[in-house]
Structure 1
């Protein structure tokens, strides 16, 4: 059985997982999504149920012979469909290619995805992710998502401290200030895109990794509103209450994740507020600084090795 590592070849986590999986399996292959269809081929035969992928390296694999896929990142397909080329052959080609690659990702055969297309969509559609997690009974910060300036101004006044961040992702969290919601600036910005405004939760950043039922949490101490920007942030392994461990497992299942990193804010009184769950979190720095064996857990899950 083969294992696929899907991600950009220059990405550190892609390289790491490829190298580590090769240590225990011979049939490990790399796949960049934007190589399809220019350098790779996908074939489906729904009469005889014979489906295959031919990779850029020349190897052809039956899709039923792919044991697991590690999804580091998805970089689209070879052509792009944009507003500028709508209706063009390039646009139609991109849509055909996306429909084909999504069919593989949602084929519902025995391949285990770390993580799946459905899980990836929850991450891209963060309002839907937040709503689903709230249904589980998890605490979430007071949140407004949209592009109605009066509602944003009302949220700013209602919250002791407010932050804002993209709805989709791709940029750091920032403090929301009076300058941001000044109509002269804000109306133009909100005509471009909606934003997420949240009440800032005083406390400590906690990131919980869940890999096939295994759970470990680290506290990240930082003075920055977004610890990812803080090179001086410290990290340490912490124990969370059993209720939070159970919530983390429940969130993982509800969002159709096989593994994830969940970001919380822990208050001084011990309450945990859910921020987001990432289907492809970075973890090499966590392993180096806390010795949580995330690589081993991932490989065990992907190859169904027994937990030790």
Structure 2
């Protein structure tokens, strides 16, 4: 490739062959990415035959927006006949790019939301959107539930409940989904009133361990009820309701009887409710034009409806 008597080339020749500037070659050399083979008597850099291919590889890696330090690790890995550094760098870059694309989609949907709303509503929507990052964080929603759940409930049980109760923002949201998430964020971060600080009676009775058993049982019952909601079934007594009642009976340390079901129906009817939260969750999760996605809240209402209907019929 190089025509000099010693098979080496100057920094200018290397830059010309690679189609870059001398400044670029010097930059990569100074950072240890492109070692020089020797120096001339006048102190000028000389590069070996493999320098051109290495320089092209460096430019290709930099074109993927990899940092100089990442390129350094990849080249060291290549020199050691490895390859895992390149895989890790590409995977990391893809994750970062995915996050940036998601942020751009949320910003686009937010801009469309402001553009399409009536002029009188723009100030309110801007206020809501201004309180939410892009892409949005679910941390405020998780904090809301951690403050509502029984104290000292096992971490695994808490995590399982949060997975079901905290919706993940859509990757490609509609303006309506962005608005619903912004309203959900406002709902969980606004100052609480006295009534909202109350917890269900079972929290005070069951304790941390009992509550863990309760929520595990409720998760199964909600999943069964969600399947019925997707089919458009009206509330009815069946496997889902039996599991729902069994979860509460286990938490209270009692048996599932007709009397217990009547007492439970009355207790759940007066327990604190956060219907607005679940309505907004459904709006966040539901795809445009698709059926409304069941939530733990809508499943609870379906099961409570079945329990009240059964208890009323038995009475």
| TM norm structure 1 | 0.22
Higher strand share: 1
| TM norm structure 2 | 0.21
Higher helix share: 2
Task: Pick the structure with greater CA Rg.
Answer: 2
